Amino acid sequence: MRTLWMALCALARLWPGTLAGCADAGRCCPGRDPACFAHGWRQDRVYGTCFCDQACRLTGDCCFDYARACPARPCIVGEWSPWSGCADQCRPTARVRRRAVRQEPRNGGEPCPALEERAGCLEYATHQGQDCGHAFVPAFITTSAFNKQRTRQAASPQWSTDTEDAGYCMEFKTESLTHHCATENRPLTRWMQYLREGYTVCVDCQPPAMNSASLRCSGDGLDSDGNQTLHWQAIGNPRCQGTWKKVRRVEQCSCPAVHSFIFI
C-alpha cells in the first residue's frame, strides 16, 4: 500500500490533473469551510472529496497536496512605536505603544501577538511646567542613621552651597503597615520593627534625595490636605510597607531616633 501511495504521489507530480487537489481547485480557506473542497486523493489515502480549509488538519480529510498548496504563514508584525506620553498629568494614568500587522496569519500559521501594550505612568509637571503629582508617589524611607553615611551634597553640579541647607522635615501619622515590618531582624533592617500604627514619625528630606529643580522629595505628601492617605515603603524589604497621613512640614525633625527616617 505504501508503494502504491508513493507511486500516486509521483504520478501527481508528472500529471497534476490526475489526482486533482487544492492546487488544481485553487482553494485555500481559513477556519472551517465545508464549501472549500476538491476531488482527489486525501492525505489519509482515501479517494473522493477532500478539503482545503484550515480545519482539515484536525479532521484528517485534507487533500493530499494541502501542505504544499496552502503552506502555513505566520503573522508578521512591525516594530513597536515609541511610548506615548501619559494620558493625563498629575495623577496615575497609562501610556501606550502599538505595532502594526505586516502579514496576516494564513492556513494555521502562528497567530499575531499583542499589538498594544500599556504601562503605568505619572507626569510630575503640568503642560505649563508646574510641579505636581507627588501625592501619588510612594515614599521610600530608611533609618535616619543612614543619613550619617551618605553625602548631603549630590554629585551633580546643579547643587549649590545654598541648596545643601534647603532640606525640610515631614511629620506623618502612621495609619497601617504590613506584618513584614515587625519580623525584620537583620542588622541593617532592624529599624523597621519600630514602625507602629498610630505613631507620629519624622522623615527628613535632604540632598541627594531632594530633586534639584523642585527642591522636593518624591512621596513627601506636601500637597496633601492631611486627610489623604499616602503610601510608604521601607528600603531593604519591599514587603514592609503601609500608609500614613501628613501632619505638617517643619524645618527640623524632632522625633525620637527610632521614629526618625529619611527619604531615599
CATH at residue 85: 2.20.100.10
Residue 210: inside a domain: yes
Q: Phi, psi at residue 56, to the nearest 5°?
A: -65, -20
Residue 6: inside a domain: no
Residue 36: inside a domain: yes
Place of cell 498629568: 89
- Asked if 235 contacts 264 with a C-beta cutoff of 8 angstroms, the reply is yes
Torsion sign over Cα 155, 158, 160, 166? negative
Q: Within this chain, do residues 33 and 65 fall inside the same structural domain, yes or no?
A: yes
Q: Within this chain, do residues 185 and 215 fall inside the same structural domain, yes or no?
A: yes
- What is the pLDDT, as a whole number, of residue 153? 42
Q: Within this chain, do residues 242 and 166 fall inside the same structural domain, yes or no?
A: yes
- Asked if 146 contacts 192 with a C-beta cutoff of 8 angstroms, the reply is no
Domain boundaries, position 92: 76-121
Q: Within this chain, do residues 149 and 247 fall inside the same structural domain, yes or no?
A: yes
- What is the pLDDT, as a whole number, of residue 165? 57
Residue 127: inside a domain: no
The closest alpha carbon to 173, from 255, 238, 70, belongs to 255
Q: Within this chain, do residues 114 and 174 fall inside the same structural domain, yes or no?
A: no
Q: Within this chain, do residues 57 and 100 fall inside the same structural domain, yes or no?
A: no
Count of domains observed in the chain: 3
A 10 A CB-CB count for 38 gives 23
Q: Which of 50-54, 55-59, 132-136 has the highest mean pLDDT?
A: 50-54
- Asked if 1 contacts 14 with a C-beta cutoff of 8 angstroms, the reply is no
Q: What percent of the chain shows pLDDT beyond 90?
A: 44
pLDDT digits (tens, 9 = 90+) for 159-213: 444 445 568 999 999 999 999 999 888 888 889 999 999 999 999 998 888 888 7
Q: Within this chain, do residues 215 and 233 fall inside the same structural domain, yes or no?
A: yes
Residue 3: inside a domain: no
Residue 165: inside a domain: yes
Q: Within this chain, do residues 176 and 256 fall inside the same structural domain, yes or no?
A: yes
Q: Within this chain, do residues 176 and 95 fall inside the same structural domain, yes or no?
A: no
Q: Within this chain, do residues 32 and 58 fall inside the same structural domain, yes or no?
A: yes
